[in-house]
Structure 1
Amino acid sequence: MVTSIAAMRALKAEGVTLAAADFVAGHSLGEYSALCAAGALSLADTARLLRIRGDAMQAAVPVGEGAMAALLGLDLAAAEAVAAEAAEGDVCEAANDNDPAQVVVSGHRAAVERAVGIAKEKGAKRALMLPVSAPFHSALMQPAAEAMEAALADVAMAAPQVPLIANVTAAPVTDPAEIRRLLVAQVTGRVRWRESVETMAGRGVGAFWEIGAGKALSGMIRRIAKEAETRAVGTPEDVAAAAESLG
């Protein structure tokens, strides 16, 4: 979040604002950064909400009982089938639909470990456990969702300057009350990133800027919207080049 907001402020200092953007979006906790950048949340409230969210997610499931795994080379339908077979009465769900061949599953550790084995049997190119501290975006996060509902009720939220493409619906939203509801749903719900990019591309977006550290989302976007231009903006040099690209 810190890098994203710092980069946005640096872009603004160079005369680049959201006025030229059609939408904002963020992956998982990045949704809060997107809302802050779009003026829906203050920086202080964004930081406070993310602290509450992080603490609540860690407290929701005892350490070691939950896990997540990346299934590469399987689409969403195949990953959902793997998760359903692996569950065996436990929680195992498709948590992140990242791109056409990358889905992350989340839930009880034993079930997720079974999913890794089943995915390999079903032809996944790779299936690997992820080094995460909790089973994010799964039903096991319900206590955290309840904590976030209370926290979000106490913050001021404005309509974003441009529509947010919400993680859990992959659709545009501007109403603050609806955004609050969707942020709560996001704690236990799937991050529909592939569909979110498809929504934006389908509405004429041809250039995507990833504001923040790393280039992971840019790679996903290129695999989803193959004709789109992507640009990662996370360093002072990136900011200068991005501003120059707009003339």
Structure 2
Amino acid sequence: MTIAFIFPGQGSQAPGMGKALHDAFGAAREVFQEVDEALGEKLSKLIFEGPADELTLTTNTQPALMAVSLAAMRALEREFGVAPSKAAFVAGHSLGEYSALASVGALTVSDAAKLLRTRGDAMQAAVPVGAGAMAALIGKVDVDVAEEIAKEGSAAGVVVVANDNNAGNVVISGDKAGVDAALAAAKAKGVRAIPLAVSAPFHSPLMQPAADVMAGALAAAEIATLAVPLVANVTAQPVHEPSVIRRLLVEQVTGRVRWRESVEWMAQGGGVTRFVEVGAGKQLAGMVKRNAPDAEALSLNEPADLEAFAKTV
């Protein structure tokens, strides 16, 4: 049995996430306290109590999801003896890469929280609210079809494939004119397209100002050598050198999240038979089942999930 720990990104958040972990495990409480102290505010109160619209703000969502993932990971290690080194690989969806890096000691929880606050603020500031858009292409669509749709939309503005999640779930991103034109192109091809309620056009060239901010922030951050390789979003390949990771985290702000390819590589090239989503929600486990149907996929959200998983490792 070869394990990969995977960490969720934006969209998995919900008020109350991580509260049961906080209440059950001292190790989890430590993580929430570290994040609160790093940011100089009680983010944990917002995580546990909401309101949802404030938690969904990018500046809050990014460190909040990391906090929940790391609380679960630390509890798994301290309370149940399952170390991150049990995994052959780690990976995270977009902001989840920071959770993955912190889980294997490349970043401290405090530094991950600060970097994600900076990342969230920079992404929100990069494009005026309402100027950008994202949409999910659902159903009979793969990345090749999505690229055709984006190319047609690009005649009217900026639009690119942002997230290749799995066949039947590809996200496009860009300015409003480009995405609107792509939506029309999708309809003409019989592809279902759903505009997403997001505050900025993530993983598109319009995020270059945010990438520039993160280049400076990451240059000043300490990144240790990874205990377990990270399968990176922008390459769908394993990396462990801090200098390479630093560069890829900057490229990730404007680059495509190659999640389908990452999971396929881990299952086929890396021999992973068990994908373990750590933190909030179950979105990644669902994607794994579509990308690697022969592998096991499970989510660790609650104390009972951690206990049950630990008995099988």
| TM value normalised by structure 2 | 0.77
Residues 1-247 of structure 1 aligned to structure 2 (within 5 Å):
1-13=66-78, 14-73=80-139, 74-124=141-191, 126-202=192-268, 203-246=270-313
Letter in 1 for 2:246: R
**Displacement of 1:76:** 0.2
**Displacement of 1:61:** 0.4
Q: In the TM superposition, what whole-angstrom CA distance separates every residue of 1:112-151 from its partner, at most 9, and x where no partner exists?
A: 1221222122122x21000100000000000000000000
Unmatched tracts of structure 2, length 5 or more: 1-65
Separation in 1 of the partners of 2:108 and 2:97?
Answer: 14
Separation in 2 of the partners of 1:168 and 1:180?
Answer: 12
Separation in 1 of the partners of 2:241 and 2:120?
Answer: 25
Separation in 2 of the partners of 1:175 and 1:220?
Answer: 27
Asked if the contact 1:70–1:105 (Cα under 8 Å) also holds between the matched residues in 2, the reply is: yes
**Over the residues paired in the alignment, what is the CA RMSD in angstroms?**
0.8
Letter in 2 for 1:219: G
Letter in 2 for 1:87: S
Letter in 2 for 1:147: V
Letter in 2 for 1:75: D
**Displacement of 1:235:** 1.0
Unmatched tracts of structure 1, length 5 or more: none
| Number of equivalences | 245
SS at match of 1:93: strand
**Displacement of 1:89:** 4.6
Separation in 1 of the partners of 2:183 and 2:285?
Answer: 26
Letter in 1 for 2:277: E
Q: In the TM superposition, what whole-angstrom CA distance separates every residue of 1:5-45 from its partner, at most 9, and x where no partner exists?
A: 00001100210112221100000000000000011001110
Asked if the contact 2:156–2:177 (Cα under 8 Å) also holds between the matched residues in 1, the reply is: no
SS at match of 1:25: strand
Separation in 2 of the partners of 1:188 and 1:104?
Answer: 14
Asked if the contact 1:92–1:112 (Cα under 8 Å) also holds between the matched residues in 2, the reply is: yes
Separation in 2 of the partners of 1:26 and 1:191?
Answer: 10
Separation in 2 of the partners of 1:107 and 1:75?
Answer: 19
Asked if the contact 1:113–1:129 (Cα under 8 Å) also holds between the matched residues in 2, the reply is: no
Separation in 2 of the partners of 1:31 and 1:17?
Answer: 18
Poorly superposed stretches of 4+, deviation over 6 Å? none
Higher mean C-alpha deviation, range 107-116 or range 223-232: 107-116
Separation in 2 of the partners of 1:117 and 1:216?
Answer: 27
SS at match of 2:307: helix
Q: In the TM superposition, what whole-angstrom CA distance separates every residue of 1:77-111 from its partner, at most 9, and x where no partner exists?
A: 00000011011151100000000121000000121
